[in-house]
Chain A
Amino acid sequence: MSHIANALDLELKQTKQTAAELARRSSVNEAQISRIKSGLQIWVGPEDLVSLANGLFPSQTENIKLAHARLLHARLMDECCGPGAKYISLALTEGLAIPSDKESPSQPILPPGLQENLDLIALHINYDRTVQDFVKAIANLCRTRTLPESRKNRVR
């Protein structure tokens, strides 16, 4: 069985839906859902994946995102095979407040010295666990803070 087959099966069980009901709520047809569920079809297009998530949780934005994340994770796990796959880690970080960080498009311009230091940290962070942990701790502190009102207009 493929990862996507197991994931879809689990989503259907948890939302107490059948393939036919999901087909009615999404734009993916029942035959295709059955093929995915039975493991006959492993590759699912990006639009179909979003459509399935929408069908599983109609009009529940947050649940749609989480369901899509689970299905996407399963599909990528199916694709992550071959000689180089063992060096890639693919993890679901459900529950972490990742999206809120990404939603903010504004990033301030930093003075050159500070930017260079930040770039240097970015270069080493993958290899150095201490740097990784330190940055994580500072970032968590930063996440609890709000930008001072008077400073918000400086961020672009």
Chain B
Amino acid sequence: MQKFSFALYGLLRKYKMDTLQLAEACNLPENILNDWRCGRGAAPSPGHLIKLARTFSTSRKEVSENHLSLLYAHLLDDCVGPGADYLNIEVLPKALPVVAGAWSLHPLRRMSELDLAAIRKHLWYDRSLQQSIHALAEPLKSKPLPPSTKEVKPE
């Protein structure tokens, strides 16, 4: 529930609301929202996610963006157990700025996260590997990241 709690906080921050205002607007008990906000309680259902995404939205695009951010967090939280390592959950590149804007963090592809971890294990002692990483990072320093949430246009 930790990531969902983070996404819910992002939603509240986006609209400058608190859990009480959200509870009144979406007709959900405040204690449930407070539990989610603190990373506790039963997992939200697909219906809850849509309801939360719709609450303060003024357009379909906003509903879609809010829902994406909440759903992604919920799926990551739900992906637990012995087989969880075999699943790769990722946001498609064109929608990444939406989630990054809502969470204030860039979500990393699971596969890439593991690739970087594998490199990191050998990086500190291998000089040629370090040079490869420096060479790869150098052009990225001047390369801007894709535009923020507002400029992304989910259809």
Contacts and interface: CB of A to CB of B under 8 A. Distances in A.
B83 A142 contact: no
B151 to A, nearest CB: 14
Contact of B82 (A50, A82, A120, A142): A50
Contacts, number: 230
Most buried by A among B72, B94, B137: B137
B154 A87 contact: yes
Given A89-B90, A120-B137, A127-B93, A67 B83 contact: yes
Nearest to A101: B114
Interface string A31-70: 0000000000001001001100100000000001111111
A118 B82 contact: no
Contacts of B117: 101-102, 107
A117 to B, nearest CB: 4
Chain A contact surface mostly: helix
Nearest to A89: B90
B20 interface: no
B11 interface: no
Interface of B: 45-46, 49-50, 53, 60, 63-72, 74-75, 78-96, 98, 106-125, 129-130, 132-134, 136-137, 140-141, 143, 145-146, 154
17 contacts: A46-B80, A68-B82, A72-B81, A79-B78, A83-B60, A84-B70, A93-B88, A93-B111, A98-B111, A122-B116, A123-B106, A127-B146, A132-B112, A136-B112, A139-B119, A142-B129, A143-B118
